[in-house]
Chain A
Amino acid sequence: MSARDEIYSNIRRSLGVRADDAARRAIVRNRIEASAPGIRPQRGEGDLGTRSATFRAQAESVSATVAFVERGEDVPPEIARFLRDHNLPTTLRMGEDARLAALPWTNTPLTISLGPSDGGDLNAVSHAEAGVAETGTLVIVSGAHNPSTLNFLPDNHIVVVRAGEIEATYEDALARVRERYGKGQMPRTVNLITGPSRSADIEQKLLLGAHGPRRLHVVIVKA
């Protein structure tokens, strides 16, 4: 018997069940089909403004920085300000995201480069698919539009999210991903990111910038 078959038969023998039990199969099929949300914590709930405010408070509590801008065209100047305030070079890498490409980058001192990171970039910007108010979490999906390497290799990661895309819960945010890719389908990677990288492995002391970005800056576009 193959390892696979033996493991399956062992599980069924231990549980005292049969592979052809239609009732059990229906239970499993229905559960997957339903994707029913469970208990919803209240703390992420509220109207658009409340959700943005909760998101900000939660993200700041885990050492991310958050800025609100009125319109998309305010994003490039805000990023330029962030880099200047931290004495960082004005280079910025990004993917092919159409929402980012549409912004007026030429009016700023920023030097833009496109594509994934090979580890040589100090700063990168991504556009989130959604935000989650309950813990200040960003949801970023992989692809040429927002290469996953930008989320981890640069020292400073800037993420743009629209206020209308900040959901109360993980379930709501993941439902957006499901809506875009189809039930049961996923992009290669979905990154849920909550604050900059950290480690407490030396004497339980919390240190930022372990392997991923040392800074995480979120720009929330109100309109």
Chain B
Amino acid sequence: MSLHATSPQFKENAHRALHDTQLQKALGNVRQNFIERRAVAAGNLPEFEALRDQARDIRDHVLAHLDLYLEEYERKVTEAGGHVHFARTAAEACDIIVGLARARGAKTVTKGKSMVSEEIGLNAALERNGIEAVETDLGEYIIQLRGEAPSHIIAPAVHLNREDVEAEFRRVHTHLDAGRDLEQPETLLAEARAILRAKFLASDIGITGANFLVAETGTSVIVTNEGNGDLTQLLPKVHIVVASIEKIAPTLEDVAGIMRVLARSATGQDMSVYTTLSTGPRRPDDVDGPEEYHVVLVDNGRSNMLGTQFQDMLRCIRCGACMNHCPVYHAVGGHAYGWVYPGPMGAVLTPSLIGVDKAGHLPNASTFCGRCESVCPVRIPLPKLMRHWREREFERHLAPSTVRYGLGFWAFVAKRPRLYGLATRIGMKLLAIAGGEKGHFRSLPFAGGWTQYRDFPAPHGDTFQSQWKKRNNGR
């Protein structure tokens, strides 16, 4: 693990996020836009639900045969004149890429948006070796200037408002007229475009991620809207693809099938603007394109997830729909999760990659409302997987002792129906009396975590179980 994780401080992070008015304003954009746009796009394609099933099945098939598809992919990349490198860990992946860059005397590297490059901490590794890494996706460029990690896997600067971007551009782009007008998002975009265009043309190496690696043809596929990924890989002499091992798709037909659910789930577009299929370096009849093509395949813990209850998580195609629909993400944003991957997919993946001892809070930050699973294009049972992590955390004695004793006590009573019925009846009576006419509590012993922020309602009437019994005539 390369990026310093603040996941162990999730509660503090979340608390800070909830009181950050600028962040709360920005998060309003997520709630408003993503949900409606996805619903419209999905609704406009009658085959959408069947396509989700198909996408799930393709991904399951790939994972079950991952070793063989990787072999085939590797063979085809080599046949097309490319080079495949394997990295067990984040550090190994960075070493390979830094090694390639240094051997070519590279001073500047341009980058397309890549979550796995965030995961392995690539920018920091390049900078440590005196190589300038320039993020070229507009959102990634903005957060790189601010020294931040992405707060969303497809909209990395979603936590920022226009004023934040303007302030950052004024701070960094000091060679430009200080009196220039940056009131409109259009002018901010134009400024970034002009500055990054010069970077593209001067870059020694282009690094992109991959949405798919096609075994049939040895092709890497990137999906973008801006075109930055294409300029990144097209203009420099060397193109390096960094991708995790599970990104395989068997054939071009499989890519086409999954593409139909990817953009619709992510941004609510029917299709992203640029889907680019790259196979090997420049050919004899080419007049542009890179002279070298490398693929760095990163494991970093994924091969250990295969064959476990977390294998389903490796179906993920990184669309971001789960976080777009998550009430917890809406409330605290992506940075609170403390590492690379936020939201429900992050709550499941992060403990797998950095350990449940560090990331145990994340699968607990869920109401199990199930919206993430209901929109996941590859139908990952995210709530179930979060529950698996909670169980592991409990089994490994990682949960705080109050939680453990509390759960232990509850389990003892719950396993004894008569005792449970008696205890709840007495408890309810007492609370009803204590609650009095107000009908709610400002504070309660053992429930300070609740009553600090809201009143606790006093119960009235019978317990659920006795009401149920009555409704069914004692049956």
Binding site for B on A (CB under 8 A): 2-4, 6-8, 10-12, 14-17, 19, 24-25, 27-28, 31-32, 34-39, 41-43, 58, 62, 95, 115-116, 118-119, 134-135, 137, 142-144, 147-149, 151-153, 169-171, 174, 178, 184-205, 207, 209-213
Contacts and interface: CB of A to CB of B under 8 A. Distances in A.
Interface of B: 26, 29-30, 32-34, 45-47, 50-51, 54, 58, 61, 64-72, 76, 80, 86-88, 92, 136-139, 142, 155-158, 160-162, 165, 185-186, 188-189, 193, 196-197, 200-201, 215-219, 225-228, 230-231, 234-235, 245, 250-254, 256-257, 259-260, 267, 269-283, 285-289, 297, 299, 303-308
A10 B288 contact: no
Given A6-B88, A190-B277, A209-B189, A35 B303 contact: no
Interface centre among B186, B197, B303, B307 (most CB of A within 10 A): B303
Given A184-B76, A199-B225, A7 B287 contact: no
A207 B185 CA distance: 8
A151 B230 contact: yes
A147 B286 CA distance: 7
B252 A35 contact: yes
Contact of A201 (B46, B138, B161, B245): B138
Nearest to A6: B88
Nearest to A40: B47
Contacts of B185: 202-203, 205, 207
Contact of B72 (A32, A115, A152, A212): A32
Contact of B271 (A115, A137, A186): A137
Given A32-B215, A184-B216, A210-B225, A169 B256 contact: yes
B193 A186 contact: no
Nearest to A216: B273
Contacts of B139: 199, 201
A202 B304 contact: no
A41 B162 contact: no
Contacts of B287: 95, 115-116, 143-144, 147
Contacts of B273: 62, 193-198, 212
18 contacts: A10-B304, A14-B303, A17-B67, A19-B67, A27-B65, A28-B68, A38-B253, A95-B287, A143-B287, A144-B286, A170-B259, A188-B281, A194-B271, A194-B274, A203-B185, A204-B33, A212-B231, A212-B273
Closest 4 CB pairs of A and B: A212-B227, A201-B139, A210-B226, A14-B306
A24 B189 CA distance: 50
A39 B54 contact: yes
B199 to A, nearest CB: 11
Given A28-B65, A62-B273, A202-B185, A10 B303 contact: yes
Contact of B306 (A15, A134, A205, A212): A15
Contacts of A202: 138, 157, 160, 162, 165, 185, 188-189
Contacts of A10: 299, 303-304
Contacts of A8: 67, 70-71
A124 B289 CA distance: 17
B86 A14 contact: no
A10 B89 CA distance: 13
A41 B245 CA distance: 30
A126 to B, nearest CB: 13
Contacts of B87: 3
Nearest to B65: A28
Given A7-B299, A11-B66, A210-B225, 6 more contacts: A10-B303, A15-B67, A27-B65, A31-B251, A188-B280, A212-B226
B230 A119 contact: no
Contacts of B161: 203
A211 B231 contact: yes
A198 B250 contact: no
A7 B296 CA distance: 13
B166 to A, nearest CB: 9
Contacts of A189: 234, 276-279, 289
A205 B228 CA distance: 18
Contacts of A19: 67
B283 to A, nearest CB: 5
Nearest to B50: A39
A213 B156 CA distance: 23
B227 A186 contact: no
